Structure 1
Amino acid sequence: MGFEFGQVAELRDKVKEFRIASGRVHDKIARRVALLAIRKVKLMTPVDTGDLRNNWQFQVVKKGDVYVIVIFNQVEYASFVESGHRIVVAGRTVGWVEGRFMLKLTMGELESIAPRMWEREIEREMRRIFGQ
């Protein structure tokens, strides 16, 4: 069984196209996962004035071949609501407020969802390019 040079050249071109497309897919899925995370964390965020809920943001950073999703909130008390804090009266600790863990719980949930989203999109691109 042999191959024609034209078939090898065609395969080379398709692999090159897939490599370019996979970069776009990674970026698209990273942004989609980040938006889903923002949506879920906002639903879990307690509301008093709405500042905490409305200040969730994300950034997608590419480091080599790895896409890192950074989710953050710049409201100064966000970490206290997330992780909990002590109650201090007259310089003495009198209690503890449990954290809500809205970001931690959201990230745990998305760690199981994200690989499936990525896999589906990569398979779709492979079918489009390689014709299967």
Structure 2
Amino acid sequence: MFDFSEFARFQSDFERKSKIRSEVAEKVLKKEGAAILAKTKRRTPVDTGALRNSWEMTYSQKGHEHKITFSNPQDYASYIEFGTKKIKPFYMNTVPLNKGLKTVERKYKRELKRFFVD
């Protein structure tokens, strides 16, 4: 006869740790996403204010995948972001996003250590 209690304990621990990882990912992404959005808005040039006020961030989760998306529905947003032959690029979202990705990874690892210190 086999004793499955150790396996059941392992499974329970695994599920608990998965839930913690998911909660930490959501917390870090939402917080850092808001910071990236604020920096993006600050870097956005203002004429009428429509471009700056149109920035949006959405958070989504599907299974173990967590995602934040930044968007701006203004038709001309990409021209301001990446420039044209006559207009220099502002990289209003690119720069904060690249810096923010490093911060997200560092803070995610730091938060996980709080829960999983051996």
Q: What TM-score, normalized by structure 2, do the two folds share?
A: 0.80
TM-score, normalised with respect to structure 1:
0.73
Q: C-alpha distance in 2, partners of 1:59/1:113?
A: 18
Percent identity, aligned pairs only, is 26
- The separation in 2 between residues aligned to 1:13 and 1:64, in whole angstroms, is 18
Note if contact 2:22-2:64 (Cα within 8 Å) is conserved in structure 1: no
Q: Give the deviation of 1:69 after TM superposition.
A: 1.8
- Contact kept? 2:37, 2:57, Cα under 8 Å: yes
Q: Amino acid of the residue matched to residue 106 of structure 1?
A: P
Aligned to 1:70: 69
Question: Hey, which of these two has a bigger chunk of strand by percent?
Answer: 1
Deviations 1:39-66 (A, max 9, x none): 1111111111211111111112334433
Inter-partner Cα distance in structure 1 for 2:110 and 2:80: 35
Deviations 1:66-120 (A, max 9, x none): 322211111121111111124xxxxxxxxx1111111111111112211111011
The change in CA–CA distance for 1:8 and 1:60 in structure 2 (over 3 A counts) is same
Higher Cα radius of gyration: 1
Number of equivalences: 115
Partner of 1:121: 111
Structure 2 CA distance for aligned equivalents of residues 121 and 40 of structure 1? 23
Separation (CA, whole Å) in 2 of partners of 1:9 and 1:62: 27
1:99 is paired with a residue whose SS is coil
Aligned-partner residue type, residue 31 of structure 1: K
Tell me which amino acid in the other structure corresponds to 1:61: S
State the shift of 1:9 in Å.
Answer: 6.3
Q: Aligned ranges for residues 36-115 of structure 1 at < 5 Å?
A: 36-86=35-85, 96-115=86-105
Query: Matched residues in 1 for 2:21 and 2:107: separation?
Result: 13
Give 4+ residue runs of structure 1 displaced > 3 Å after superposition.
5-15
- Computed over aligned residues only, the root mean square deviation of the Cα atoms, in angstroms, reads 2.3
Contact in 1 for aligned 2:79/2:89 (Cα 8 Å): yes
1:10 is displaced (CA, Å) by: 5.7
Deviation at residue 35 of structure 1 after TM alignment: 0.8
